[in-house]
Structure 1
Amino acid sequence: MVRVAAVDCGTNSIRLLIADLVDGELVEVDRRMTIVRLGQGVDATGAFAPEALERVFKATEDFAAVVQSQAVGRIRFVATSAARDVTNRDAFLNGIEDRLGVRPEIITGQEEAELSFRGATTALDLPQPYLVADIGGGSTELILGDRTGVIAAESLDIGSVRLTERHITTDPTTPAELAAIVKDVDALLDHTTVPLAEARALIGVAGTSTTVAAVALGLPQYDRAAVHHARLTTDQLRAATGWLTTSTRADRAAVRSIHPGRVDVIGAGAVILQRLVDRLPVRDVLVSEHDILDGVALSLT
């Protein structure tokens, strides 16, 4: 047995998983998440904002304290969409290394997809092939695969933060703003290299899918156990997306199952999930709390 720590830093959040690796499987010790909005303004400026770096550094310091207290043997830190093309990424890399003692890996969209697929599908019994949709703040990973591994994967430059910053300026979102989001999503889905029509099951992972599930299920507060492996019908998804894209920010903030850091961006993320489901020959979405973070931890075997 070895105790490992995995850190996933995305456009909107940074997450930590500490687990024991036992016979190739994870036994969870600690899992936590902090909204840092690292991708704040990146779509427009091409650089990390100083205040965004400060938020991620503070969260990393907190994670470092947890890692030190848990006698971790191996650790891996991965960064995804927001960190790939920024002009000041060395400040990010050096700042994380100074605080955690490990240098972040800025992984490619392909590796992100493979890690997400592994984390989401371990021990699942679903019709094959299945499609894993990892909707993040800056990008969306689509991964089609089966029990033998990944068949096709692509990272699309659409995410909840990216689309919100690009199109939404009013509260509530106007029909024109919503139409612009739909147009961007459809443009990329129309030309994805992943054969969506071949999917026989859909697995939605990461914060957008889990938050939409919590809303669709009407949970009084976020309940990880209730969300994990919940099945949302297409009608439930459509109803939740409709509310999330027409409600006011105050309305969404009053729903305790929506993390405060997702209140302003969850509508755009829900649209991505909805437009994807509309193209697939499936009747429901299996929502999973296991995703790239679990894949990173499993990679430390």
Structure 2
Amino acid sequence: DLNNLKVVTVTSDKYADSFGFTEEEVFSALDEYGIPERKMAVKQWYDGFTFGKVTDIYNPWSILNYLDTGRLAAYWANTSSNSLAGRLIREGNKSIKTSFENLMRGKSLRAEIDEQIVYGELDSDGQAIWSLLLAAGYLKVKQFNAYETEFGEWKEEYELELTNFEVKTMFQRMVRRWFGSVSSEYNDFIKALLADDIKAMNGYMNRVALATFSYFDTGKNPSCEEPERFYHGFVLGLMVDLNDKYILTSNRESGFGRYDVMLEPRKKEYDAILIEFKVQDTEEEKELSDTVQAALRQIEEK
């Protein structure tokens, strides 16, 4: 039997420089291959891993593949389907999806990390996903704060962000796969949105929404909040597909039954787009036309 193992995790300083290539090693290799001008691009893609207080650790698998092919790509992401991480995000609660949206925007999140998390707890513990993503290398520690509570309990809070551009690319592909069954209709919806073709938008959105409601739900705890489910997936899809042309911000006022998305153009030649989601209040709005008018009033008031 194998007993009394000592686990060295990503938050430990021990063996910190043994899990990957240091920046000095990577830059030396690029010099040797005669491509020193690619250092900053390689750093953006493959740097970012942290082990304890040691930073600037590079993914060795990706570096070796890059040196072999000379092409920047998500090599590490292609080593597995990443299905567990994708499922936990897709089926996660509103807080998880909101935090994931922020991560995709380049923001960070604060979380308490449990390095003893076990597989069976991933579905029951709403915050366990961040411990998993940190341990798996998808997230890195930006900042760390340890403190003692008023009850004498020792707490550790971590500020986390996506590790690097390779990881972000992997998550972008994951979001696109969420719409795989309706990819044609979704792409046509995006085209209609940019062309201001409201009639076409309506038809395509209905088909996309109906197809994705069940996909964004969890089999164990199905939600009755269908608009909320569609909203999260829809916003993430827009973020991925329109990121090169628009800065996307979203706001939820779920207590009032409305959610909005604002697409701010990166260049002046594009139009700004504001999308208002309105859930029908059957007690106050007898017809869908009443709901539409309420949504239009909300846009005008803003």
Considering the TM-score relative to the shorter chain, is it more than 0.5? no
Q: Max radius of gyration: which structure?
A: 2
Q: Determine which structure has the larger helix proportion and give its number.
A: 2
Name the TM-score, length of structure 1 as normaliser.
0.27
Name the TM-score, length of structure 2 as normaliser.
0.27
Q: Determine which structure has the larger strand proportion and give its number.
A: 1
